[in-house]
Amino acid sequence: MKIKQKAQIVNKDKTSQLQIANKDVPDHWKIVKLGDVLREVNVRAKDLNIFETEQVPVMSLTKNKGLIPQNERFINRVATQDISNYKVIKKGQIVYNPFVLWEGAIYALKGRELGLTSPVYLVWEATNAEHSFLDFLLRTPQLLNEYLRVASGVVQRRRAVRKDVFLNIKIPLPPPSEQHAIVQALQTIQDTIQTLRNELALERECKAVLMQRLFTSGINNVSLKHTLIGEIPESWKVAYLRDIIQGTPQNGAFIKQPIMGKGTKYVNVYDIYQGTIINFKAVERMECESSYLVRYALKESDMLFVRSSLKREGVGHCCLVRDMEESAIYDCHLIKVSPNTKVVEPLFLTYFYLSELGRNNLVAHSKTTTMTTINQNTLLDSQIPIPPLTEQRDIMHILEAYDSKIDSLYQEISLVEELFGALIEELITGRLSTIALIQAEQAS
């Protein structure tokens, strides 16, 4: 395939000082402005006498999931009651938020014929280009960086990409047949990712149902008894957390001006949400006083609970400390407890607090002001079903098998997403030819 170098365009006037990365693109491709392939659409709900319905919902624009019905994103209504001035969007039209465009808030409407969106957003329809091709192209890293570069405004939160500036951005444009082939290739990978995500969601739902059964009925079909926490097998006991831990709970380290990137492993709230067991390889480092290494030291089989969260559902989440290769400390928004391994398996206890039964109890006793919090007494007063140690281990092994499958799915999704990222870069620049794809489609 013939290749020629496309010149980088740099002018003195910032409004036209828009550049496309200095890439090699196929000789028969064009370099065009977005204004050559997009036309603004400004149709309001009142213009077409359209009302909000289940079929025509108010759409929320997200940077990760695209355009989704607002009620799937927010519990409470965000849109105004009077939506007559909201913009009408049709299937295939592209919407972007000028204030966070560089974060990827630009998507085409898919999956429904009509929707309504904020009057602040801009709506476009494709002309002289396939809308699905533009939908992929407009979120490539090169263009996201370009949006950020040309955004105007002094304060970061109030910066925006002006419409005239957006329309002057230059992009590579292949012929229609190649646009279609690129879309088909990328969509195939996205469909694969979605299939894996659906499988992951199903596995997590199955695990949640299984956990509820295991912590209330056990493994075998045995007689049950009534307790303060509900029915449990007759051979089980109920214990307060205070009676099955060593020592007392402890809040983590408060560091006023953290210097991240070097020093000691520092477990924060984010790390707790990543899995059942803390992944220390992903934990960040932070410089701290030597006294902190003693006072806030973590050890094998410790458990960490989130004691404060901006979201109610985030509080009480827990994680197990295991497979440490070096010393580590933990953040002030976490509470550490040390299970007594003579009476309870730490991993069993962790799974219980990650179950609906365990989490609901903690969340129900949380307090909310600006943040939702639980204190040490709330944790100590929580009650746990305690099977014999052998049965605790059996339950652990069953749930570990589920975790292993879930982890494998996460890894598979990550690998396919990496493939998608690499492939879109190669296809959008023409470094990877679509001729074989076109020929295969024509042959079929």
Q: Using N-to-C axis directions, what is the helix angle for 346-354 and 176-217, rounded to 10°?
A: 110
Assess whether 53 and 123 both reside in one domain: yes
Assess whether 262 and 323 both reside in one domain: yes
Assess whether 300 and 195 both reside in one domain: no
d(CA 353, CA 217): 16
Which helix (H) or strand (E) segment is 304 a member of?
Answer: strand 303-306
**Residue 283 · residue 323 · CB < 8 Å:** no
In this prediction, residue 9 carries a pLDDT of 31
Residues sharing a CB contact under 8 Å with residue 68, sequence separation 6 or more, in sequence order: 59, 60, 62
Assess whether 356 and 251 both reside in one domain: yes
Distance of CA 242 to the CA centre of its chain: 35
State phi, psi for 385 to the nearest 5 degrees: -75, 130
Assess whether 196 and 270 both reside in one domain: no
> For residue 249, what is the domain's CATH number?
3.90.220.20
In this prediction, residue 156 carries a pLDDT of 62
**Residue 152 · residue 160 · CB < 8 Å:** yes
| Residue 124 amino acid letter | W
Q: What's the Cα-to-Cα distance from 136 to each of 66, 67, 243, rounded to whole Å?
A: 12, 14, 56
Assess whether 135 and 22 both reside in one domain: yes
Assess whether 43 and 122 both reside in one domain: yes
Residue 26 belongs to what domain range?
A: 3-173
Assess whether 63 and 154 both reside in one domain: yes
Among the candidates 345, 368, 386, a domain finishes at 386
Residues sharing a CB contact under 8 Å with residue 236, sequence separation 6 or more, in sequence order: 218, 385, 386, 387
Read off the DSSP letter of residue 151.
-
d(CA 330, CA 286): 10
Read off the DSSP letter of residue 358.
H
The answer to whether residue 420 sits within a structural domain is: yes
The answer to whether residue 307 sits within a structural domain is: yes
Q: Going by DSSP bridges, is the β-strand pair 230-233/59-62 parallel, antiparallel, or unpaired?
A: unpaired
**Residue 79 · residue 138 · CB < 8 Å:** no
Q: Using N-to-C axis directions, what is the helix angle for 435-443 and 176-217, rounded to 10°?
A: 80
The answer to whether residue 330 sits within a structural domain is: yes
Assess whether 328 and 211 both reside in one domain: no
d(CA 362, CA 381): 10
In this prediction, residue 157 carries a pLDDT of 63
Q: What is residue 146's three-state secondary structure?
A: helix
Q: Using N-to-C axis directions, what is the helix angle for 356-364 and 176-217, rounded to 10°?
A: 80
The answer to whether residue 232 sits within a structural domain is: no
Query: pLDDT per position in the chain (444 positions), as tens?
Result: 443 333 333 233 333 333 444 457 888 899 999 999 999 999 999 998 888 787 888 898 988 888 988 877 655 555 567 888 999 999 999 999 999 999 999 999 998 999 999 999 999 999 999 999 999 999 999 999 999 999 987 666 678 999 999 999 999 999 999 999 999 999 999 999 999 999 999 999 999 999 999 999 999 888 999 998 889 999 999 999 999 999 999 999 988 877 888 899 999 999 999 889 999 999 999 988 889 999 999 999 999 999 988 888 888 999 999 999 999 999 999 999 999 999 999 999 999 999 999 988 888 888 888 788 889 999 999 999 999 999 999 999 999 999 999 999 999 999 999 999 999 989 988 888 887 777 776 766
Q: Which residues of 203-224 are buried (b: 16+ CB within 10 A; e: fewer)?
A: beeebeeebeebbbebeeeeee
The answer to whether residue 95 sits within a structural domain is: yes
Residue 209: left if φ>0, alpha if ψ -120 to 50, beta else—which one? alpha
d(CA 127, CA 105): 21
Q: What is residue 387's three-state secondary structure?
A: coil
Among the candidates 173, 191, 212, a domain finishes at 173
Q: What's the Cα-to-Cα distance from 278 to each of 130, 267, 269, 275, rounded to whole Å?
A: 45, 8, 11, 7
**Residue 170 · residue 31 · CB < 8 Å:** yes
In this prediction, residue 80 carries a pLDDT of 66
d(CA 263, CA 8): 43
Assess whether 294 and 161 both reside in one domain: no
Assess whether 356 and 436 both reside in one domain: no
| Residue 130 amino acid letter | E
Rounded (to 5) percent helix, strand, coil in the chain: 40, 25, 35
d(CA 375, CA 361): 13
Assess whether 282 and 347 both reside in one domain: yes
The answer to whether residue 230 sits within a structural domain is: no
Number of compact structural domains in the chain: 3
**Residue 429 · residue 172 · CB < 8 Å:** yes
Tokens representing 285 are 């480092």
Residues sharing a CB contact under 8 Å with residue 421, sequence separation 6 or more, in sequence order: none
> For residue 440, what is the domain's CATH number?
1.10.287.1120
In this prediction, residue 18 carries a pLDDT of 35
d(CA 123, CA 43): 9
DSSP 309-325: ESSGGGTT-EEE--S--
Q: Going by DSSP bridges, is the β-strand pair 328-330/260-267 parallel, antiparallel, or unpaired?
A: parallel
Query: For the chain, how big is the Rg over CA atoms in Å?
Result: 27
